[in-house]
Amino acid sequence: MPGGERGADGWRVEWRGTAVMGVLNVTPDSFSDGGQHFGLGAALACARQMHGAGVLILDIGGESTRPGAEPVPADTELDRVLPVIRELKEDGVLLSVDTLKPEVAQAALRAGAHLVNDVGGGRDPEMLRVCSDAGAPLCIMHMQGEPRTMQNSPHYGDVVAEVFAFLRGQAAAARAAGVPDVLLDPGIGFGKTREHNLALLRALPQLTTGPDGVLVGASRKRLIDYLADVPQAGDRDPGTLALHLHAARSGAAVVRAHAAAAHVQALRVQAALDLPG
Ligand code: HH2
């Protein structure tokens, strides 16, 4: 399993196998767990449970990016995520802030977050500057369009070529701006049809053989309903595990999951099968 080590100058993470990033949505309206962890007490309890189960990273988000979601002001997002980050920063778990807004990322990093998860893919140069200044890694996710309208009519010529070229280009731009490390994420469900998502998942080995770590976030997404007829997001953990074990076998460094404990267990078992002898 991957390990994180706190050095004098912050966190150094060595990726060995596939790590779990536990989802902590401090929102009233997230598609899969909206409202469940909205209060500080509930958020902290969930965070500590996931940490105890063995996640490497907690991904703290204060704005839903589900299809059709309306943006929230930066102040609202900060009121949601900062108290959680302040409480967890000494817990010995990596903290990621899931945001599209550089000002939210900056405040979160100052409050104790270690990395930024940008579903905007680092397109805003200000986001790159914030990460560079803080020496913080950036997760670069691909999204076609924006959350409010992205599922209206996603279209690509060659989805795999276009998404992977975007990710590689953004990684180069981030490095040139001084961002110390990146994770690349094809953005399952972000401006993509069922066929687009499947093509990207099948092509993961093309991305994971590159120099950068790859993150996959298929947790409880509608793709699972399309594939296995599971209308309720909360019922989609078995399908999520199937997709994420595939991602791990394909070389993903991180999977982003709501059912964190089940993921840690399944990935440990899968890793044991891969050991020689
Ligand atoms: N998916 C969601 C949010 N953030 N970040 C990355 N890097 N990759 C993803 O696939 C991803 C993400 C959407 O899931 P969730 O956080 O459960 O829902 P919501 O956006 O409604 O809060």
Q: Is 236 among the domain residues?
A: yes
The DSSP annotation for 48-64 comes to HHHHHHT-SEEEEESS-
Whether 35 shows a pLDDT value over 60: the answer reads yes
- Residue 69 has a pLDDT of 84
Given a contact cutoff of 8 angstroms between Cβ atoms, the answer to whether 225 and 243 are in contact is: no
Residue 69 lies in a domain: no
Residue 117, ligand 1, Cβ within 6 A: yes
Residue 223 lies in a domain: yes
Give the model confidence (pLDDT) of 85-96 as tens digits.
999 999 999 999
Mean pLDDT along residues 200-219: 97
What is the atom index within ligand 1 of the atom nearest the CA of 66? 21
Nearest ligand 1 atom to alpha carbon 188 = 10
**Does pLDDT of 132 surpass 50?**
yes
The pLDDT assigned to 165 comes to 98
Return the higher-pLDDT residue of 256 and 2.
256
Least confident window among 11-20, 37-46, 99-108, 210-219: 11-20
Going from the Cα of 183 to the center of ligand 1, the distance in angstroms, rounded, reads 15
Which domain range does residue 215 map to? 21-63+79-147+155-270
What is the position in ligand 1's atom list of the atom closest to the CA of 218?
10
Count of structural domains, the chain:
1
2 is a domain residue: no
- 57, part of any domain: yes
pLDDT in tens, 7-31: 545 555 555 689 999 999 998 877 7
Q: Is the CB of 215 under 6 A from ligand 1?
A: yes
Residue 173: inside a domain: yes
User: What pLDDT is stored for residue 192 in this prediction?
Assistant: 96
Give, in order, the Cα–Cα distances in Å from 33 to each of 30, 73, 269: 6, 21, 27
Instruction: Note the Cα 206 to chain centre separation in Å.
Output: 19
The H or E element spanning position 115 is strand 115-118
Centre of ligand 1 to C-alpha 59, Å, is 9
Instruction: Please give the pLDDT value at position 277.
Output: 67
Cβ of 99 below 6 Å from ligand 1? no
| C-alpha 8 – ligand 1 centre gap (Å) | 31
- Is 120 close to ligand 1, i.e. is its CB under 6 Å away? no
> Does the residue 68 lie in any domain?
no
Mean pLDDT calculated for residue range 211-235: 97
So what's the pLDDT on residue 1?
40
Residue 16 lies in a domain: no
Active site residue 256: yes
Q: What is the pTM of this model?
A: 0.93
What CATH code is carried by the domain that includes residue 175?
A: 3.20.20.20
Q: Which residue's C-alpha comes closest to atom 8 of ligand 1?
A: 217
Report the alpha-carbon distance of residue 8 to residue 254 in Å, rounded.
Answer: 24
Q: What is the per-residue pLDDT for 28?
A: 86
Confidence check: pLDDT of 6 > 60: no
Q: Using a pLDDT cut of 90, give the percent of the chain over it.
A: 81
**Of 11-20, 137-146, 198-207, 238-247, which gets the smallest average pLDDT?**
11-20
For residue 101, indicate whether it is catalytic: no
Average pLDDT over residues 144-149: 84
Distances 247 to 92, 242, 276 between C-alpha atoms, Å: 26, 9, 20
Q: 10: alpha, beta or left, given left = phi > 0 and alpha = psi -120 to 50?
A: left
**What mean pLDDT, rounded, does the chain reach?**
92
- Average pLDDT over every residue of 139-168: 92
Q: What is the pLDDT of residue 2?
A: 47
